[in-house]
A and B are shown apart, each in its own frame.
Chain A
Amino acid sequence: MTREEGESRGDDTMIDAPQQITNPKPEEFFNVHYLRIYYGNLFPYTDIHKWLSYGHDGKHPGCDEYYFGRREFSFTLENDVYLRYKSFKTASALEDSIKSCFPYKIDIGAVYSVDPDKRHAYSQTGTNVFTPVERELVFDIDITDYDDVRYCCSGADVCSKCWPLMTVAIKVIHTSLIEDFGFKHILWVFSGRRGVHCWVCDPKARRMTNEQRSAVAEYFRVYKGNENNARKVALMGYSLHPFLARSYVDFLKGFFEGELQANQSIFSSKDKYDKILEMISDQDIQSELREKWENSARSSSLSEEAISLTRWEQLKNTLQSKKHKAPTLRMCVEEIVFTFTYPRIDLEVSKHMNHLLKAPFCVHPKTGRVCVPIDPNNCDEFDPLAVPTLSQLIEEINSGGSKMDVDDDDDTDTSLLGKSIKFFRSSFLEPLLKSCKEEIESSYKTKIGKSKDSFSW
């Protein structure tokens, strides 16, 4: 990145980028200088404040003006200094605080019964307790939980071959949240490196108890595996629950037989197919298929993908003809598909109201990428490797390509970050605020109506 001087920039402030060597190292993607610029100019403070206020902006008499101030934030600073229970009364308080310490990570917690920074004034028992009262229903899907079924990367890496696992996870969970649970205001956010977060912001979701959150998380749980058991998905009964059946038919089957096979070729080598064969609980079937494939391995000139597909067909046919042998074989085919494709959420994140989760539009310290929202209706097009990084954003500012003030409602902002912010506003924030205002209005009217009644004797 070179320094550009003079006329090409029309901005009032000149931003000096630190000098760059020609091959940027990973550390160059993320450093304190970039953070300052990002939080100084690009982070959408007003939008985040509007979102987390849920309509309690003090304009309506039915508003709770202290609502935003009871939300917990946590900052992680340089050198892993961790500050919990931070709270702010207004958007500008939040902005000032962030601009004074430029945290590496910002997490959002629950809305408590009192301001988090005043919590010590309240005892743990009795009627005035410091306890969470509202919190979005959140989900965290991390691609490292899929390491046993992806062969292209492992650990913290992610590529275009394994990212589709996240895409299909989003589709399954999103459809279920809307169709089964009736939620409407759902925000999906890229976690910055290798996963996605989901924020369900409906009022009834925010008021769910830990037990109810746990129930929803368990509803989504299918995979129960670790290295100590071979069969990690056990689908009992005679047929699939309608939610699983719909997920299978609409998303998982097609993904498994199409994109997954193409990207991962899960049958092409002995190591790979052994793992799948072990999921079949019948030893005879296992040996039959093993033999067949060992023999064919020597004499095949097909591509990995073609071999993989052929073997999958053979496996399906064998199981279909033999499934009456044992009840555990009845849904073996589906179990294999589920093992490789069904979403694996982190249960602990969803179960507790006080769990902190990274804020959208933060920057991931290891990659420098911004945690941008993902459109669930177009998630096939999302590419984690094309998400803007800090250095790209800085360069864009320097070349005069983006507006400095992100709070402008200008629709012509086509900068890298502007698109994401526009999407956040139009498809999530605006419908949410509309419904929040309606709710505040109607509950206010009910309260007024009740007190009016009490006056009539």
Chain B
Amino acid sequence: MKVFVAAALLALAAAEGYFRLPNPYSYSCQDGLCVKEERIVSGEYNSLDKCQITCGEYGSIWPQPTGKVELSKETVSFSPLHMRVTKAATSDNRVARMLDNAIQHFTRTIHFLHPDFPQTEKQPLTPEDFENTGHFNQKFQNEDPAQQEQYRQRSEYDRNQLRQRPRYSREEPESFIRRSPFLRKRSNPGVESHNVNIEITVTASDHKLRLDTDESYNLVIQTVGDETTATILASTYYGARHALETLSQLIAYDDINNAVQVVRDAQIQDAPSFRYRGFMLDTGRNFYPKEDLMKLLDSMAYNKMNYFHWHINDAASFPMYSNRVPKMTYYGAYDARKVYYPEDIREIVEYANLRGISVIPEIGGPAHNAAGWQWAQKEGKGKLALCTDSNEPWFELSKEPPSGQINPINPEVYPILGELYRDLMDYFDPEMVHMGGDDVSFKCWQSSEEIQQYLSQTKRESTSREYFELWNTYQSSAYNKLQEAAQGRQVTPIIYSSSFARNYIDKDSYVFQISEFANESVIADYIKNGYKVIFSNQDQWNLGCLTNTWVGDKAENCPSEVPTWENFYRNSPLDMLEYLGVNNARSDIQQADGTNTKNLVLGGEATLWSFDTDANGLQSKIWPRMSAFAERLWTDPQSSLSGTSFTQKRLNIQRQRMVYRGIAADPLQPEFCLQDEGACFSREQYRARTTLNNQQ
């Protein structure tokens, strides 16, 4: 009975822990989907990996490029050790240095493709790794000595930091490449002798991402004989970085040769549809260690997102170490380990920049303030934050516990805010600063004796109108402090949309973040009145509502259904504006007043309020839903979800790719659906597909 399986063949399996036999399945590309078939021994073997990167108009590129895409159906195999940068043309030393880092980051992601690469070692590229492992950075001999010195000091600093932190069994830093499973022997000499050359040309010297940065790129892959050349042409570093991201998506593991394979020939022209493709993380309600933020930045870069809105503090905690007002941190941090020191922040900002991401810090107000402000009263400055007495029921004073709101009539508030803004300038050198402006509770000010006294002394009534005026006192004073701190640099403030914002805020000085639910009519008013906006519809683009039962067992402020990846994908700012009666929202036609809708809509931002999330659940909560969001903003596909199975298939692959890179993205489907594209369909999709097949 037991002999019916060819035991000889399979005996090998258990010994090594893996089947030594070839995969029983092969894949063919049919109508843009990879179809699983049993492999015929004498027939050609196409692995799933190969099929995925070549099948369909866009292969597995995510987000889908907006320009021309041509991919050959063939791949060529090579060892990642034989991938070299043969040209990195830039006239700017700093850009050269940045490219060097991007190339190393790219190279690591290629090594991570090996299934045996230990998942725990897939960590962000630290400056230390960068210094110690660069086999590319020797190429740039014309390095500016000042820059070299700066980097030397940096890595020295970092090593000191490591030394200071007590650790056991710390491995000596060594090249991750020396640990790469791709070092194992390959039996195919053709693979061993194949070279991949990368040639990069960057024409501009931008080394800081701004809203007007040109992120477009051109990528050409050509294979002649045993040479494959990937040519990248971009005006800025940021475009070149995106091109490397796309190139990495045209490379997959090759299980037969213990190698990788790249699409043999390709041409891609690409540029984003929206300038602002952001993510907001709240580190005030729960703390995220620096390493987790760096991993987050990596994962955003994998999806070509470019703005990280850092909601640093909230009423619950103040984790930023302020050099100028250290007691904010002393009283406000959850504990001494849960602090972002200036060096940490600078490292994060620099790391983000290398990943093509600009960091927008937020110290918002007047609501969401309590932690950290306690010290001032002891030093005779009066109450800086009101409604922080825990004996009062929080629900009378704010949207959530803990309550707390800035005391706008205490003049001591503003110099301190000014100091905090100066810290922000020092640590972030930001292009924009978020000033908050959400959830202001008039009931809080109403309950405050100090405010009531002030109102009666100045002969005012306790009316909404007066509270708007108080809010305006706060906002205009804070704005002035911010501009003072900027010392002449142009720093654009961002504020959440509200009736206050519409009635009091100068549309030309601010950017407005729209948190209204999709299709609320007020959204159109912003555009009609010429406001510059970022879309953040909280019913579609809020990542935090998955388990939102943190106060009691009722979900608050969340839509009745959890936004799925389809919601994230479908929410189109321009379609929404068309629907709301903004004419020609999708065209370049100027409005009567000379504005252009597409210029007013900077882009969008997905948000995660950390009520019930910290670093443990972060990645799986945001990925891969935020990938769907990223494609909406990069590609802005005009038909919202046509051919869902094709989008779903690429999204499944993008999720898998992130997991290969050490990001704990959630699976959307059983792996069966990844391996058998189009098998997991709904009735509608099945009908659509059968009709399609019948037509052909």
Q: Do A and B interact with each other, yes or no?
A: no
